Amino acid sequence: MIYSQEITDRIEIVTTTAQNTGATFKGIRFYLASADCLKPPAHPDDDSSAVTFWIKSGAAGFKAGNENDLVQLLHKAADLLAGLCSPS
pLDDT of 59 reads 86
pLDDT of 34 reads 77
pLDDT in tens, 6-53: 999 999 999 999 999 999 999 999 999 877 655 666 666 666 789 999
Domain housing 51: 4-84
| Structural domains in the chain (count) | 1
pLDDT of 50 reads 92
pLDDT in tens, 52-69: 999 999 889 999 999 999
Q: pTM of the full predicted structure?
A: 0.79
- Are 48 and 32 within 8 A, CB to CB? yes
pLDDT of 41 reads 67
Where b means 16+ CB within 10 Å and e means fewer, 7-35 reads eeeeeeeeeeeeeeeeeebbbbebbeeee
